[in-house]
Amino acid sequence: MTKRINRTIFSEKLIKAGMTASALAEKLGVSRAAVSKWMNGESFPKPDKLLRIGMLLGTGYDELVVAEPDMVAEPVVAYRAKANRVTREQHVVWAKEAGIRLRKLADCLPNTMQKPPVLKEPVTAYNYVARVAAQVRREIKRPDDKPIEIKDLLQLFDDLHAVIIPVFWGDTEHHGNALHVYLPDSLTTWIWLNLDSKFHDFLFWMSHELGHAYAPDLTGDYAEDFADLFAQLLLFPASCVESTYKQLTGKTKTARWTYIRKEAEHRNISFYTIIKALRRYSEEERLEEIVFSDADISKHFAILKSSAPSVADQLFKQTEPTPKQYIQTLERAFKTPFFEALKAFNEKQPLSEHFLTNIMNIPLTDAKALAATLG
């Protein structure tokens, strides 16, 4: 086993302690370069230094240290910031740390070690992604005029051995609405879904993560572009994009907004998903773009945000669930084996709140209550 410092926790504890890396180095009697090497995984502190770090930062071994098997494939992370924000390194680092810890849970899942039916050589070409989305719709018997439902997506996730991790990450403060990590060594996919997302966004992010699950070998912006286009064309198929473009051509601004809002409401998606699909279609076909001004988009976003319920609101009727209610409701709603895997893991070794905090990115108090319930 290779041990290294949990960079995310290390950085957070430094900030909380009001200490810089240089100040820590001085207190430990080591060089600033030595601390940098610990943070970057280039070296590991000696036991006495590790104990001293824990005391200075107010943290324990289980939280501070990551142990991983030697010579295993690195988790493949797909993480795009919402609202066009820049994806920060700290979020990717946390996701990889979480993926490493999830290896412990992989053995507690149902036996699905056969390779899931993923795409062989996925590309971001419009016609290719349109064909993939159409094929997926045929598999779940959803014609283009019918909206995709959560149960349809859950069926597809199950086929791809994807494990849903439902979390409360807040409406605005968290970096993203969803996250995807693929573990090549166990052929498992783990998908975090933010229950505080608005319902129309939630379907898009589920579809986006489904795109990643179909193309686990893609990385970086190329993977994100594929997943974005796949989500658009799964929720609003190419045939609908083409007919909508024709319907809106020559119409007034008011008539255009009325039409796309009606289409969006019918499919439980955001009007912006339709706008982005129209933009991509006109670019692909070299047609004149149907323009929706930024000011109008912002105005309609504000209206939608103030009126649309979140997924959590719909699941828990705007009341805060107990840990037991949280587990039971989400197992029923998402058919996820995540909580059963946690219970099975707990039978092997006591389930730590630090372990839950690290894999779910939730406050320690919530993790402690959840650990007690699962135990």
Q: Encode pLDDT of 173-190 as tens digits.
A: 444 678 889 888 888 899
Q: Is the pLDDT of residue 132 over 60?
A: yes
Nearest CA among 42, 51, 45, 233 for reference residue 125: 233
142 located within any domain: yes
Residue 208 CB-half CA count within 13 A: 24
325 located within any domain: no
Residues 228 and 82 in one domain: yes
**For position 45, which CATH number holds?**
1.10.260.40
- The Cα 108–Cα 273 span in angstroms is 37
Lowest mean pLDDT segment, chosen from 221-235, 306-320, 331-345: 306-320
User: Is the Cβ–Cβ distance between 160 and 189 less than 8 Å?
Assistant: yes
Rounded average pLDDT over 185-211 = 91
Total number of domains in the chain: 3
Quick one: CA dihedral 131, 193, 262, 286, positive or negative?
A: negative
Over residues 297-336, the pLDDT tens digits come to 999 988 888 888 889 989 998 788 999 999 999 999 999 9
Residues 207 and 107 in one domain: yes
Q: Is the pLDDT of residue 172 over 60?
A: no
The band of 71, judged by pLDDT with boundaries at 50, 70 and 90, is: very low
170: left (phi over 0), alpha (psi -120 to 50) or beta: left
Q: What contacts 24+ positions apart, CB below 8 Å, involve 294-299?
A: 296/253, 296/257, 297/272
CA distances from 105 to 34, 334, 340, 351 (A): 33, 18, 10, 11
Kindly state the percentage of the chain with pLDDT values over 70.
Answer: 92
334 located within any domain: no
Over residues 53-63, the pLDDT tens digits come to 988 988 888 78
Residues 13 and 89 in one domain: no
Under DSSP, the state recorded for 310 is B
Q: What is the pLDDT of residue 114?
A: 60
Kindly state the percentage of the chain with pLDDT values over 90.
Answer: 49
Domain boundary among the residues 23, 38, 68 is at 68
92 located within any domain: yes
Q: Which of 17-21, 180-184, 189-193 has the highest mean pLDDT?
A: 189-193
More confident residue, 69 or 83: 69
Residues 121 and 179 in one domain: yes
Q: Is the pLDDT of residue 165 over 90?
A: yes
Domain boundary among the residues 235, 263, 280 is at 235
The full DSSP string for 183-224 is ETTTTEEEEEEETTSBHHHHHHHHHHHHHHHH-TT--HHHHH
Beta-carbon contacts of residue 334 (< 8 Å; ≥ 6 apart): 154, 164, 166, 193
Residues 215 and 261 in one domain: no
Rounded average pLDDT over 211-220 = 89
Residues 226 and 242 in one domain: no
Q: Is the pLDDT of residue 122 over 90?
A: yes
Q: What is the pLDDT of residue 317?
A: 84
Q: In angstroms, how far is CA 163 from the centroid of its own chain?
A: 11
Residues 206 and 294 in one domain: no
Q: Is the pLDDT of residue 262 over 60?
A: yes
CA distances from 181 to 13, 28, 97, 111, 364 (A): 25, 35, 10, 19, 22
For 289, the token pair is 């773009």
Residues 84 and 215 in one domain: yes
User: Is the Cβ–Cβ distance between 155 and 251 less than 8 Å?
Assistant: no
Q: Is the pLDDT of residue 168 over 80?
A: yes
Residues 104 and 147 in one domain: yes
Q: What is the pLDDT of residue 173?
A: 47
User: What rounded mean pLDDT belongs to the chain?
Assistant: 88
342 located within any domain: no
Q: In angstroms, how far is CA 365 from the centroid of its own chain?
A: 22
Residue 14: which domain range?
Answer: 2-68
Residues 197 and 297 in one domain: no
Domain boundary among the residues 38, 68, 98 is at 68
- The Cα 145–Cα 342 span in angstroms is 40
Rounded average pLDDT over 15-26 = 89
Q: What contacts 24+ positions apart, CB below 8 Å, involve 322-330?
A: 323/369, 323/370, 323/372, 323/373, 324/373, 326/370, 327/370, 327/373, 327/374, 330/166
Lowest mean pLDDT segment, chosen from 40-49, 249-258, 308-317: 40-49
354 located within any domain: no
User: Is the Cβ–Cβ distance between 43 and 11 less than 8 Å?
Assistant: no
274 located within any domain: yes
Length of the chain in residues, anyone? 375
Q: What is the pLDDT of residue 4?
A: 83
Rounded average pLDDT over 342-357 = 90
More confident residue, 76 or 114: 76
User: Is 0.85 surpassed by the pTM of this model?
Assistant: no
Residues 177 and 37 in one domain: no
320 located within any domain: no
Residues 271 and 171 in one domain: no
